[in-house]
Amino acid sequence: MNELWQLYKSKTWVEPFLVYSIYLFILVTVVLFVLIMISRSTKIRNERLIRKYEISIEKMLFSILFGTENYGSIKKEEDFISLNQKPLFRNQLLESVINLHQNYEGVYAKKLESFYFESNLINDSFEKLKSRHWEIKCKGIKELAEMNVSKIFNTLVKISKSKNKTLKITALNACIKLNGTNGITHLIDHKDPIDTWTQLNILSAFKKGNIENTNGIELLLTSKNKTVVSLGLKIIQTLYLSQKAVFINELIATTNSEKIKSEAKNVLHLFVNPKSSKV
Amino acid sequence: MFTGELHQFVELYLILIMVYAILIMSSYLILAHLSVKQLKEHLKKNSFVNYEVLLSTEFAPHLSLIAPAYNEGMTIEENVKSLLSLNYNNYQVIVVNDGSKDNSMEILINTYDLILVELQFETKIPTKKVKAIYQSRNAAYKKLIVVDKENGGKADALNVGLNIAQNPYVVCIDVDCILDKDSLLKLAKPFLESTEKRVIATGGVVRIANQCIIKDGRLVEVNIPDKMLPRIQVLEYLRAFLLGRMAWERLDGLLLISGAFGAFDKEIAILSGGYDHKTVGEDMELVVRMRRYMHDKKLPYTVSYIPDPLCWTEAPESFTIFKKQRSRWMRGTIETLWIHRKMFMNPKYKLLGTISVPYWTFFEFLAPFIEFLGLLITAVFIILGLLYWHFFLLLVLFVYFFAVMFSVIALYSEERTYHKYPKIKDFLKLLGGALIEPLYFHPIAVYAALVGYMEKIRGTKGWGEMTRKGFQKK
């Protein structure tokens, strides 16, 4: 302490400290300024390239969808060979395939799925699944689920137990997309609470997926996890599954949670009076 | 003898000032570091969030928007219209006319076809007398409730809204703010996300809308003001919201949710007594009181914060209005810290008592005073010939370049996150602002804060008239 005091008193440190700090502040400012400029110019360049790529991607995909072309003929084109090696182009191509697949059904969707498989874009998605970064994993899951790659189902069940909420939601939504009601019955044994936001996302996936077979949803009501039971009740209420009333009555008789009991009674009440609000 | 004592005093003074400067600068850098981390995480998560989930479900939280209005006749019609057209289903809008002297009520009655209604509500928080409650005959405006009450100030108007609100969450806003269309979706989400802790409040980022283009109550073009005073406030808001509040959210030590835009758990807001009409810093005071209530009752809770720019407001363009606003902010800070002085350095309140409240006390409340004192003492040194000009100039440059660097860090964060100012001209304007700020804006801000101290000592109450220029419309 005394040494520090002596050093302080000697004042020899003051000038170098101030001068070097000023240099450091100026340096950081200049570096950040340069980084901002680089970031801006990269953004502009990428946007320009993406616009350019979009034109050729659109032309190519539309010729596959509505024409007679297929991946076999396209992969021989010189333009495609050179562009396909560029990561930005491949990303854009994958994004366009996924977007189109969301908008088309039937034979068109099948054509896009074949293209996804033959062009090895599927491998790009699988690579993302292996990533250590959850956000990249999420992207991969979304792509594979959208393209109906059902062989990833078991991997998704594992991922759905993740602590990372976003990853969990993405995996559960993918499970529902690929396997309907069976996609979430594994939640019965789920130990962690599922928050309302996650529940609403699962509910939305159900609504979006137009899932007709709802057999097994009632199993959620038997879970020891109250949030899973609450999710089951929400699904039954939203999809208006009045045939499940018997299971709800059973739940009311057996549960010792007042909150669940009230939620269950509310669902039954809505079955009787669909236009009424909560009891 | 006298010279020896003087030198000792100078030594002591220099040590204290240096320690204070290093503490304040390093705290800014630590907070900025935490903020950037939090911001990055938020943006990563947000890229997978589908807010439409909340639009299509009856389970979305039910919200009551409370918009107090005082002499807003010039803009109230359009502002209410924009509040009624937000992307959300389960919400009502409660406009509380706080005894306006202009024709606000007439405009509201005529525009929205309002009729008197007998709305039953319990007065859980005492307020000034409610004269009448109106609802529209037009089904298109069924979400709207207009309350006409005796003048009692903003806090009193908000309390009337809390009493009347029929939904479990209230969103308190300034009626003249421009809200993002999805602002309610984003503000409501945190209330659904916690299973172990109760989310008692959520705040959103406020940005400056001067010289931005507004169409039908929505922001359509972002511009940076040409005038230096509002321009530097853009930079100031970027620093405060992007490099400050995100860090406090991460630490769960947020003390302030802007009065312009924040959502609260109505039950807790009422249980903790609602807005305090005796303070001009009612927004900060309510958050501190709600947190204190939860701590005292030993209830697990958290306060959430959304870094997305959801609310745009008009910043003062004239020195007089700016001075009034900042002196009021300082009075509000003093009043809140004084009311809750029991929390200061009190380990019972955990991080709140040991870090948040002391931080506000030392670096928000005391900073202008210490700066002013520093200037006075420097002047005395100059007069007595004690000033080492060489070191003094180095010290000035040290502080100046730190301030510039910190603003550029904020600009870099904005660039890499929301990128709301894509025009190169706007970026250069902000950069210019960063270079000028320490010499032009900062002294004015310190002066306004000192006026706030004086007003507090003199016992000044109330807001003072805050005239606004109005937004540029398309």
Model confidence at A68, pLDDT cuts 50, 70, 90, reads: confident
Contact B52/A at CB under 8 A: yes
CA angle B321, B324, B330 (to 5 degrees): 140
Determine whether the interchain pair B45/A166 forms a contact, defined as Cβ–Cβ distance below 8 Å: yes
Confidence of residue B469 (pLDDT cuts 50, 70, 90): low
Q: How far is B175 from chain A (nearest CA, A)?
A: 29
In sequence order, which residues have a C-beta less than 8 Å from that of residue B369 and are 6 or more positions away? B450, B453
A205-242 pLDDT, tens per residue? Answer: 988 877 778 888 999 999 999 999 999 999 999 999 99
- Token match 């003249």: residue? B176
Q: Mean pLDDT throughout B196-201?
A: 95
- What's the whole-number mean pLDDT along residues A123-150? 95
Complex prediction ipTM:
0.90
Q: Span A118-131, mean pLDDT?
A: 95
Q: pLDDT tens, B374-428?
A: 999 989 989 988 888 898 899 999 999 999 999 999 999 999 999 999 999 999 9
Q: What pLDDT digit, counting tens, does each position of A260-279 carry?
A: 999 999 999 999 877 665 44
Residue B103 has pLDDT above 90, yes or no: yes
Tokens at A122, concatenated: 């599927």
Out of B23-27, B385-389, B450-454, pick the least confident.
Answer: B385-389
Is B430 in contact with B411 (CB distance < 8 Å)?
A: yes
Interface test with A, best of B26, B47, B57 (most A CBs within 10 A): B57
Helix (H, G, I), strand (E, B) or coil at B63: strand
Radius of gyration of chain B (CA): 23
Short-list A265, A205, A262, A263, CA closest to A239? A205
The Cα–Cα gap between B103 and B397 comes to 53
Picking from A4, A173, A12, A2, the residue whose alpha carbon sits closest to that of residue B48 is A173
Residues of B in contact with A226 (CB under 8 A): none
**What's the pLDDT at B78?**
87
Query: Which tens digits make up the pLDDT trace of B265-295?
Result: 999 999 999 999 999 999 999 999 999 999 9
B199 lies within 8 A of chain A by CB: no
Examine the pLDDT at B18 and tell me if it is beyond 90: no
User: What percent of chain B has a predicted confidence (pLDDT) above 90?
Assistant: 85
Task: Check whether B462 has a pLDDT greater than 80.
Answer: no
- How many CB pairs (< 8 A) connect A and B? 99
| pLDDT score recorded for residue A35 | 97
Q: What is the pLDDT of residues A138-173, one digit of tens each?
A: 999 999 999 999 999 999 999 998 989 999 999 999
B104 to chain A nearest CA, in Å?
A: 35
Read off the pLDDT of residues B339-388 as tens digits, 9 standing for 90 and up: 999 999 999 999 999 999 999 999 999 999 999 999 999 899 899 888 88
pLDDT for the residue A279: 43
- CB within 8 Å: A204 and B57: yes
The larger pLDDT score, comparing residue B182 to residue B78, is at: B182
Residue pair B234/B433 in contact by the 8 Å Cβ criterion: yes
**Residue B11: pLDDT above 50?**
yes
Distance of alpha carbon B303 from alpha carbon B248, whole angstroms: 10
Residues 82-141 of B with CB under 8 A from A: none
Which pairing describes strands B63-69 and B130-136: parallel, antiparallel, or unpaired?
unpaired
- The mean pLDDT value of chain B amounts to 93
CA distances from B325 to A170, A255, B441 (A): 46, 56, 14
Among B195, B235, B417, the residue to mutate for chain A (most A Cβ within 10 A): B195
Q: In this structure, are residues B453 and B296 in contact, taking their beta carbons and an 8 Å threshold?
A: no
Identify the pLDDT of residue A210.
Answer: 75
> Is pLDDT of B16 > 80?
yes
Q: Range with the lowest mean pLDDT among A44-58, A73-87, B30-44, B305-319?
A: A73-87
Cα–Cα dist B172/B29, whole Å? 31
pLDDT at B474 over 60: no
Nearest alpha carbon to residue B219 among B182, B194, B168: B182
Q: Is the pLDDT of residue A123 over 50?
A: yes
Show the CA angle centred on residue A209, arms to residues A205 and A211, nearest 5°. Answer: 110
The predicted model gives A86-111 an average pLDDT of 93
Residue B252 corresponds to which tokens in the numbers above? 């769960």
